[in-house]
Copies of this chain bind each other. A is one copy, B any other.
Amino acid sequence: MTRSIPKKVAVIGASGYSGEELLRLLGQHPGIEVACITSRQYAGKPLGEIQPQFRGHPVLGAIKFSDSDVEGIVASGAEFVFLALPHGLAAEFAGPLLRNGLRVLDLSADFRLHDPAVFEEFYHGKHPAPELLGAAVYGMPEIHRSEITRARLVACPGCYPTTITLPLVPLLKRGLLDPKTIIANSLSGVSGAGRKADVGFLFVECNESARAYGVPVHRHLSEIEQELSLAAGETVRINFAPHLIPLNRGMITTIHVNFSDSADIEAVTSAFEADYGSESFVRLLGASAIPDAKHVFRTNFIDIGWRFDTRTGRLILLSAIDNLTKGAAGQAVQCFNLLAGFPETTGLL
């Protein structure tokens, strides 16, 4: 590691599960200094008191939460700001921070959609800052690496879109699939719901429970279909059924889809190897193994497997990520590395 001056970063809304994972990753990143972490609720308190796993951490141990105001963030000297805020709140911060010259990595859904009309349809309200949508880049490095490198505002994807989009894009862009036949079923750990007091996410309500939700129209469909349509070169509508299962962390997705006329399983394998063979965070399992949430636990990997069902003629795509890492904070750090000029894996492997 070069001994250059560390990049100063800020984390806004650091007390949720994504914020916590972001701090864990930033705490092991050799090229940065955490200049400021904010939390309205915990301003003034040391991180280690609120999130005791950070007590005694050599880098983060002594840091205190400050209030979540733009002037303070700017004054901290941060060049890069991670927004780990509830949906809707990020847009309030992004504009002022960008105008002050900071570069913003937003983990919320506020800037993931290019079309404000789609935002309205799926989020049931006007977009709070539509003028920024044009500048925002969708933060999936394996798909949009070069735009991310130059971006001032990165809209980091959600966990469901990561497990669904990454397996499909190489195949859709080559015309290997019938885009009308995509059916994605996803299983999510409970941390995806955030650290909020809600009876539905109590231990007793989630343990020994398994349930679908958000069927048939979950909000994340909007960004999934945006990215799939871009890859396919046509409007893609899919079926997507998310399920909540009793894991702290982890997400797996199973996709069933028909081939287009010309495709076969070898073409699938070739497409994955061509697009992802050199990717640091994509592990291609093919038919040799099945992705499992535990194998990607606390890593930034996505595992992708694929099988062909000769009986029905359908392709089955299987993927697994840690919803808080590759599905949130890890992917954001991966984008940050691109923005800040670090090797993409810095602090992540």
Contacts and interface: CB of A to CB of B under 8 A. Distances in A.
A210 interface: yes
Given A243-B187, A248-B207, A293-B208, A312 B197 contact: no
A164 B298 CA distance: 29
A233 to B, nearest CB: 19
A196 interface: yes
A309 interface: yes
Contact of A299 (B53, B189, B195, B307): B53
Contacts of A190: 202-204, 207
B191 A204 contact: yes
A155 to B, nearest CB: 23
Contact of A52 (B198, B292, B309): B292
Given A190-B204, A199-B197, A256-B241, A217 B248 contact: no
A210 B243 CA distance: 12
Interface stretch (A54-62, A99-107, A144-152, A330-338): A54-62
Interface string A176-202: 000010010101011100011111011
10 contacts: A189-B204, A197-B198, A208-B250, A210-B247, A215-B254, A215-B290, A215-B307, A215-B316, A243-B254, A245-B245
